[in-house]
Amino acid sequence: MKQMAFTYQPNLLSESVTMENQTEVAEMKKDSPIIEIKNLNVKTSEGKILKDINLKIPKNKIVVLLGPSGCGKTTLLKSLNRLTDLYKELKVSGQIIIDGQDIMKAGQNLAVMRQKMGLLSQRPFPLPASIYKNVAYGLKLKGIRSKKLISHSVETNLKRVGLWNEVKDRLKSPVTSLSIGQQQRLCLARGLAVKPAIILADEPTSALDPISTKIIENLFKELKQHYTIILVTHVLRQALRLADHVVFMYYGEIIEQGHPDEILKNPKTAILKKYLVDGN
Ligand SMILES: Nc1ncnc2c1ncn2[C@@H]1O[C@H](COP(=O)(O)OP(=O)(O)OP(=O)(O)O)[C@@H](O)[C@H]1O
């Protein structure tokens, strides 16, 4: 990334220089990462789960976390919205800067911070309520009371995940009337309704059939225009299909990262070469 020095030079501060700087600052902002992780360590009394993770996650891209089982992918995702706080045995240190704010600092408003991030798990976790109420849930939590606004958001977000035509005539039906693939898309719609900037997806297609998997993959390709997606997957072909940037982890460390063609087709380290041949 282009580096700029912001030294104050009063004699040079003509209008054209200021304009040029403004353009450069705007350019830099566009390229600047939405998330920057600096020296992140997660440990238990048994040892380290994440070791000195340094990672910049660019805006509006799909970043894939790849690596063998137990290498720390889910822990890294959980650190990003401080779900690690829920596990007293985990000691977390380092910086996670999201939109310029270090979320690791004391006194952060975790509820507001977590609203920036939609979380999609391996299996859908719908609420035991109707299809409509599932999507409306987050809006009501946010204090939105207008039925018109809520109905509009339910429709928009169900359309966004390609579910509207399938459910529009049965919005009051329980979620259990939906297939697992449909439930996963419903959970995505529920997350999108509260307008996150980032989607954290932990093997979101591992419980889905190939058709539902394809629908979710295509959705992710569209959604990245508006969201930054961090995706954990074990499926190398999925990584190749979706990733703009691949991060390969091994025993809590980042071993290699880069463009998928670089990482998956021309690996540099022996560990990654072996992983690509043997898998887990
Ligand atoms: N709360 C915890 N307490 C103790 N150890 C933990 C805790 N959470 C995770 N671990 C350990 O940290 C390591 C990394 O776990 P994590 O779930 O992040 O790996 P992963 O790469 O996502 O694995 P998988 O691909 O199998 O889901 C594992 O050895 C796991 O047992």
Ordered by start, the domain boundaries in the chain are 126-195
43 Cα: distance to centroid of ligand 1 (angstroms): 11
Indicate if ligand 1 lies below 6 Å from the C-beta of 90: yes
Indicate if ligand 1 lies below 6 Å from the C-beta of 87: yes
Indicate if ligand 1 lies below 6 Å from the C-beta of 233: no
Backbone angles phi, psi at 47, to 5 degrees: 155, -175
Q: Give the mutation target among 44, 48, 49 for probing the ligand 1 site: most ligand atoms within 8 A of CB.
A: 49
Q: What is the pLDDT along the chain (280 residues), one digit of tens a residue?
A: 333 322 222 233 333 334 445 555 454 455 568 899 999 999 999 999 999 999 999 999 999 999 999 999 999 999 999 999 999 999 999 999 998 889 999 888 888 888 889 889 988 999 999 999 999 998 998 889 999 999 999 999 999 898 999 999 999 999 999 999 999 999 999 999 998 999 999 999 998 889 889 999 999 999 999 999 999 999 999 999 999 999 999 999 999 999 999 999 999 999 999 999 887 5
Quote the DSSP letter at residue 174: B
CA distance 197 to 112: 12
Amino acid at 276: L
74 Cα: distance to centroid of ligand 1 (angstroms): 7
pLDDT score of 176:
93
- Expressed in percent and rounded to 5, the helix, strand and coil fractions of the chain are 45, 25, 35
Indicate if ligand 1 lies below 6 Å from the C-beta of 73: yes
pLDDT score of 114:
85
Indicate if ligand 1 lies below 6 Å from the C-beta of 72: yes
Q: What tokens does 63 get?
A: 């970043």
ipTM over 0.85: yes
Backbone angles phi, psi at 155, to 5 degrees: -65, -45
pLDDT score of 115:
84
67 contact partners, CB below 8 Å, separation of at least 6: 73, 248, 249, 250, 255, 275
pLDDT score of 63:
97
Q: Give the mutation target among 73, 230, 253, 254 for probing the ligand 1 site: most ligand atoms within 8 A of CB.
A: 73
Q: Give the mutation target among 75, 90, 275 for probing the ligand 1 site: most ligand atoms within 8 A of CB.
A: 75
Indicate if ligand 1 lies below 6 Å from the C-beta of 70: yes
Q: Give pTM, 2 decimals.
A: 0.85
User: 């021309």: which residue's tokens?
Assistant: 266
* Alpha-carbon distances, residue 197 vs 3, 29, 35, 115, 226 (angstroms): 26, 16, 11, 9, 8
Atom of ligand 1 nearest to the CA of 72: 18
